[in-house]
A and B are shown apart, each in its own frame.
Chain A
Amino acid sequence: MLSRILAIFRARNLEFVRDRGSMSWNIVLPVALVFGLSFIFSAENRPEYTVGVLQQDSELDRDAHPFLSTRYVDFVVVEDEVDGQRKVARHQLDLLVQFDGADRYWVNPDSPKGYFAELALLEATRGQITREPIRGDAVRYVDWVLPGILGMNMMFSSLFGVGYVVVRYRKNGFLKRLRATPLKAMEFVIAQVASRLMLIMVITTFVFLGTRYFLDTRMDGSYLLLLLIAFVGAVALVSMGLLVASRVTSEELAGGLLNLITWPMMLLSGVWFSLEAADEWVRQLAMVFPLTHILNSARAVMLDGAGLVEVGPALLMLAAMSVAFLSVSAALFRWRPS
């Protein structure tokens, strides 16, 4: 029995080692993730609190007030007062301060971190500052994270449910069999996209309504607009899956590529935590992912009641990504292994 196990073990190892693409990805992916994450989150004395500084100049002047030199606080410039207040209400900022002579600050009394940041502020200003409590509904974490979880589920379903399956079809010859029928490549692609879209929309709607009913999650905007965002976003993600699957023939390589895409997207698109405090380049990098646009616009609708005008640019970006992904995947598509 052992010799049979060893024979299979050896054969499998040889197969893996000889599949250079899969092996490379299996090594490169975790290394890239570890290095990438350590680089992004490596700053020593990482700030514990985030305080918005309301000012017109985009460069923060730390000499404007001694409080702005407080350690363990990440000071971010806020140019729009309403936007800053909204973020305080939603716990995205622990405080919003303004030092322009008539010093004042905004705090959400329901925010634990806001409470401690306020103590530090009062210590630094000796109480010589006007308090402006934000009277708005604090956004619970579940409200904030729900779009992230739904988006992440859409992402995995789209990329693995389409990309991985198409690669399997190609590898086992099912695509070749279809090629021998009058079926066109575009028809096959459309069928795959439509099938997965329907599945995603049904599951996402079901989960959304379930959480809305049982957890009373926040929904300030239009259901129809949210549905549109989910639809356009799912098309973009499914198209991305097709792009990965367009000519890969190894399921392991496909898995590696899909992981390479999904993990950074999951970490940088704001699924679990906000990137408000992240460096500008990280936030810019996140904009290349369709999931970022999906989550930003879904949260805008669900938490801020945003309308079509506000989320329109994100929808256009998702549509452009879909066209690009589909065009390239159609050009690269192969029915059978080379």
Chain B
Amino acid sequence: MKVTGAQAIVKALELEKVDTVFGYPGAAICPFYDALRDSNIRHILTRHEQGAAHAASGYARATGRTGVCISTSGPGATNLITGIATAYMDSIPVVAITGQVSSELIGKDVFQEADITGATAPFCKHSYLVRSSADLPRILKEAFHIASTGRPGPVLIDIPIDIQCDEVEFNYPENIDIKGYKPNYRGHVMQVKKVVNAIAEAKRPVICAGGGIISANASKELLELAQKCKIPVVTTLMGIGSIPLEHELNMGMLGSHGVYSANHSVYNADLLLIFGARVGDRAMASTNIIAKKATIVHVDIDPAEIGKNIHVSIPVVGDIKMVLNDIIDIAEPGDTAEWNAKLQKIKEEHSVTRKYNIKSSNTINPKYFINCLSSYLDDKSIVTTEVGQNQIWAANHLNVKNARGFITSGGMGTMGYGLPAGIGAKIGRPESPVVVIAGDGSFQMSMQELGTIKQEKLGVKVVIFNNSRLGMVRELQKVKYGGRYTQVFLDANPDFVKLAEAYGIKASRICNNDEINESIKNMLKDNEPYILECIVDPDESTL
């Protein structure tokens, strides 16, 4: 059947079971938009291309399916870059489709031309500049395959406008054969046995659970192994949700912004089992010290992560879910009773969720607020965060109850991520309550997306912790730069309640800890968008 290139793209999206795309039109992508009009695929018009990329990422993280974002050529495409890079750093499956100027004009610096495959090369798992409409079905098929398998990541397809208009015989390939892409899913049997032996011998084992557990849907297996072998678990920022915060074996988030119990566990272990984590510097800074004390097991789907940041004794390349199942089948617990008892005590003594100061009557304690919020969220709920103090408050104080229930920009630390990611999450899982935790700084990086929320009638709830500061940078300047504060004062913040009203979104402001429970209940009572502004003391610390 002959169709246009644009129709071929739409047909491919339908065959990939894409139900929603996030995008922003422009001249060079108009043929695609024209074809999309005849499809049942839902298009969400964001207010900025970056929002479209983040929303696709939030959608992917909430659902486990590949997110799709669309933009035009030139500035539309370059506006996607931060979103693509954010998805790349956190290994999120996203397919980005960009319009491009007509093939014969490429390289002539014509209006809205940008070399987007070149510009995004460092942040894409793979990219295509389409040279013939005949290639479109194969390229779309490959793009979705590459984005969603192995270590997931963003794939960009740049499609010149003439290719969108050319005719193509549409045959969607059933099979894929990419010579250079054959991910290894099954862990090596001998390596798995070595892991099992190490677990049996260990006295002080710890599991470090990363985002790989969540992307592989392996949290059930993680819990099973931890419980079977009585191994305490710490999570990375990306691993939050892989095990409930309140689980007795969960020692919390590790790293420079993590909790004492988690870091103590890692630095005193004799066996560290790193599952689907890339040992980033914020999680484990002193890898030499850790590796000297402990046998390091590293299981990851990406061979390049193994040995990159920490010396590994037992490497296993494979899908974490399969490898965990293989380990569980034959694992026997070691003698970890003493270790667990000690860690339980440390966890009690250093608990961050017990000593909230709620005396103030003119500011909200954000940590206490998040702790309260947890009790109103069910096991379907999703919380997304922005970046800054709000992110760490949420990471350490929220009781995340489901694996895909915490969506945050881990590797890139992208301000302006939380709101559009929340939009994507809500669209992907409309039955789930979605709460965006934001600061006044990061909220303003994507606040134009309130228009998207309103237009699409999305019941996204936004909590803004307003300290009129870039709180985390301010804290850094206090600690590391002798209190020489500079450029961290947001003294001309808008009235966020009025701003919400301008968009026709309900909102309220609280500044007394006594108001927290009522206001959360009120915010969550329906499926309407809502903004709750919480006035926070500028001196409130991150940890």
Instruction: Please determine whether chains A and B interact with each other in the same assembly.
Output: no
